[in-house]
A = this chain, B = another copy of it.
Amino acid sequence: MTENSLSFDDLRKKAIELTKKKIKESVSKDLMIINAINNVEELEKSINVLTGRLREWYALTNPELVNKISDNEKFVEIVLKDDASESVMGAPLDSDDEKAVKAQAVSIHALIQTKTFLLLYLEATMDVVCKNVLTLSGSTIGAKLIREAGSLKRLAYLQSSTVQLLGAEKALFRHIKTGARSPKYGHIVNHPLITGAKKDDRGKVARALADKISIAARVDYFKGEFIGEELLKELQSKFGNK
């Protein structure tokens, strides 16, 4: 559809509107990623603390189970299914007590489900906004890097040596202030390439990984092609476990 009737002024207005819309969208998607990862972290904390309380409570009726299952999410699921009125070791719960304990488990379960959902959402959003970063670093590490940088744009403009240390600010300032050992990596410490590397190699792997993430962020920010797979393969063939 051609619109011959459009004046220069109309075109100008349209262009500005479009730009505003684009800016708004890109800003809000960055912020969506940051908010999602903030919420995921807070959910994790709440899940852990509340499950700790649930364990204390449940230990009164079934101490064996509490000791046997160390994974929090699994523990909550078992409590939901477990029949607490038929315990052997601990005191049996009457039906009101059991309802109260299970109510606690139900609400933790809701938190776990939301966390799972937000992680999926995070991945889907990053797949649109920054697929290269996502592919290289994974969703949680990538989101944390964007958060620490402030935005995808700022992550794209950071030196890769800074990217390497994002998330290690505390250790870095301790290093500067007291001369303690300088940190080798921030959030990327949890990346499988680093956790899988030998201890002595980790600094080297971290440097290379931060390099590639930096490139990925720049390509993502300037809407370049998808090169994440390629960059990751390069790293894997160099440092990955056979």
Contact B99 A121 (CB under 8 A): yes
Chain B residues in 8 Å Cβ range of A103: 113-114, 117-118, 121
- Provided the pairs A28-B60, A42-B50, A43-B50 are in contact, do residues A100 and B121 lie with their beta carbons within 8 angstroms? yes
* CA of A54 to CA of B46, assembled, Å: 14
Q: Is A227 an interface residue (CB 8 A)?
A: no
A27, A46, A57, A113 — most chain B CB neighbours (10 Å): A46
Set of chain B residues within 8 Å of A110, measured between Cβ atoms: 106-107, 110-111
Residue A162 at the chain B interface, CB threshold 8 Å = no
Question: How many copies, total?
Answer: 2
Asked if A78 is at the interface of the complex by the 8 Å CB criterion, the answer is no
Considering residues A31, A91, A107, A114, which has the most beta carbons from chain B within 10 angstroms of its beta carbon?
A: A107
Q: In chain B, what residue has the closest Cβ to A117?
A: B103
User: A35 contacts the other chain (Cβ, under 8 Å)?
Assistant: yes
| A53 contacts the other chain (CB 8 A) | yes
Q: Within 8 Å CB of A117, what residues of B?
A: 99-100, 103
Of the listed residues A45, A91, A93, A99, the one surrounded by the most CB atoms of chain B closer than 10 A to its CB is A91
Q: Are the CB atoms of B39 and A53 closer together than 8 Å? A: yes
Q: Is A161 an interface residue (CB 8 A)?
A: no
Across the A-B interface, the 9 shortest Cβ-Cβ residue pairs: A110-B110, A107-B114, A46-B46, A35-B57, A100-B121, A28-B91, A107-B110, A103-B114, A103-B117
